[in-house]
Amino acid sequence: MKKLFAIALSLSMILALAACGGAPASSAAPASSGPASSVQPQEEPVRIGLLQLVEHPSLDEIREAFMAELEAAGYGDAVVDYQNGQADASLINSICQKFVGDGVDLIVAIATPAAQGAAAATTEIPIVFAAVTDPVGAGLVGADGKPDRNCTGTSDAIAVEEIFALAEKLTPGIQTYGFLYNLSEDNSVSVIADAKAVCEAQNIAFTEATVTNSGEVTTAAQSLLGKVDAIFCPIDNTVAYAMPNLAQIANEAKMPVYVAADSMVADGGLATVGVNYTQLGKQTADMAVEILNGADVKDVPVQVLDEYSTVVNEETAAALGIDPALYR
């Protein structure tokens, strides 16, 4: 009797928390997901599920720009359910199932694994992804790059050639590049593949130092010193977290570190020709508004950002003895 009571107590505690959950949709959610695109009646605010892969300054920047542009476009009263996947695949699955169960009108997924989780959870609710470096490779759009299911969005392909051209301008005479990145990040791997292709085309040698977590960055960086003329880091979350450390080691050794994201330049990298993540968030919001206003997902093409901006860290440049006239 006492044991049954204990079980009943624990179960009711769990269920009570579930019952007082703040899910706006009624529990009678249809088994199939909400309408793919519909014109909302004026009384009901639009519901958007926003899934960010992990806490990260660049991704936060995208999200904030998205929200600002959404409001500017007239959807300030939209109910946005922001969830963070904390880089946990099972949590991402549960969050996407929550969005489907709540019957949201649109899902916004920031970063590749979040977009893949959303695509696995529904084929009917429109999904707008942001900052997916290779949407074709991730299976989100067809092989020709056009949306052929319910996914479209913005891609932050990196202009590797321009970064190398900037490198040649600021610190000329680079014979060997060192690539420092985390093999387990798909976005890094595709950028490094591009970088290798550019190096081969320009007859520049390269070597690699890979890491699996932020703690290994110091050792990897030290292993590259003396072997290479410049280090290149793609849009890699792991290296980004250890950027201040990497910058310190590199500056002491007078080694230029070229990166692919402006947040990494702010943390001490030398320079980049980078995607402006605020612009990315803005463009993602514009695409979302287009779909909310009734456009079919298949008619909204994937947008690859091609407006790059050169960002140089002046302190790092001074530490490396680079002439300010070169980048002002």
Partner 1 sequence: MSLILLRGAAEQGFLYALVALGLYLSFRTLNIADMTTDGSFTLGAACCATFTLHGHPFLGVLVGALAGAGAGFVSAVLQTRLKIQPILAGIITMTALYSINLKAMGNRSNVPLLRVPTVYSIFESHLPGALRPWSKLLLTGLIAAAVAALLIGFLRTMLGLSIRATGDNRTMVSASSIDPVYTTTVGLCCANALIALSGALIAQYQLFSEITMGVGMVVIGLASLIIGEVFSDLLFKSPGVPARIVFAILGAVVYRVIIAAALSASVAASDLKLVSALIVAVSISAPAVVDLLHVRKLRKEADRHADA
- Of 88, 90, 97, 127, nearest to 110 by C-alpha is 127
Kindly indicate which of the ranges 90-98, 225-233, 240-248, 314-322 contains the residues binding partner 1, using the contact rule CB under 8 A.
Answer: 90-98
Considering the complex, what minimum distance in angstroms separates the CB of residue 130 from partner 1?
A: 16
Q: What is the strand order of the sheet 151-155 is part of?
A: 79-84, 47-52, 106-110, 127-130, 151-155, 303-304
Considering the complex, what minimum distance in angstroms separates the CB of residue 59 from partner 1?
A: 12
* Contact call for residue 234 and partner 1 (CB under 8 A): no
Q: Which residues pair with 178 in a beta bridge?
A: 207, 231
* Contact call for residue 45 and partner 1 (CB under 8 A): no
Separation CA 36–CA 41 (nearest Å): 15
Binding mask 102-131 for partner 1 (x = CB under 8 A): x---------xx--xx-xx-----------
Separation CA 240–CA 213 (nearest Å): 11
Strand 271-275 relative to strand 308-312, pairing = antiparallel
Residues numbered 176 to 195 that lie near partner 1 (CB under 8 A) are 183-186, 189
Burial of 40 per CB tally in 10 Å (0-12, 13-18, 19+): middle
Considering the complex, what minimum distance in angstroms separates the CB of residue 116 from partner 1?
A: 5
Do residues 142 and 163 touch, judged by C-beta distance below 8 A? Answer: no
Kindly indicate which of the ranges 71-79, 96-104, 259-267, 290-298 contains the residues binding partner 1, using the contact rule CB under 8 A.
Answer: 96-104
Q: Can you give 46-62 as a three-state secondary structure string?
A: CEEEEEECCCCHHHHHH
Residues numbered 129 to 158 that lie near partner 1 (CB under 8 A) are 137-140
Contacting partner 1 (CB under 8 A), which of 18, 39, 201, 325?
A: 18
Kindly indicate which of the ranges 9-17, 34-42, 199-207, 260-268 contains the residues binding partner 1, using the contact rule CB under 8 A.
Answer: 9-17
Contacting partner 1 (CB under 8 A), which of 36, 101, 196, 278?
A: 101
Q: HSE of 26 in the Cβ direction (CA atoms, 13 Å)?
A: 2
Q: Which CB, 202 or 207, lies closer to partner 1?
A: 207
* Contact call for residue 197 and partner 1 (CB under 8 A): no
Q: Which residues pair with 205 in a beta bridge?
A: 176
Q: Could you give the 3-state DSSP secondary structure of residue 299? A: helix
Residue matched to tokens 């959404």? 70
The pair of three-digit structure tokens given for residue 293, joined into one six-digit string: 């206003």
Kindly indicate which of the ranges 79-87, 224-232, 271-279, 306-314 contains the residues binding partner 1, using the contact rule CB under 8 A.
Answer: 79-87
* Residues at the interface with partner 1 (CB under 8 A): 2-3, 5-7, 9-10, 13-15, 17-23, 25, 27, 29, 31-32, 52, 55, 82-84, 86-95, 97-98, 100-102, 112-113, 116-117, 119-120, 137-140, 183-186, 189, 212
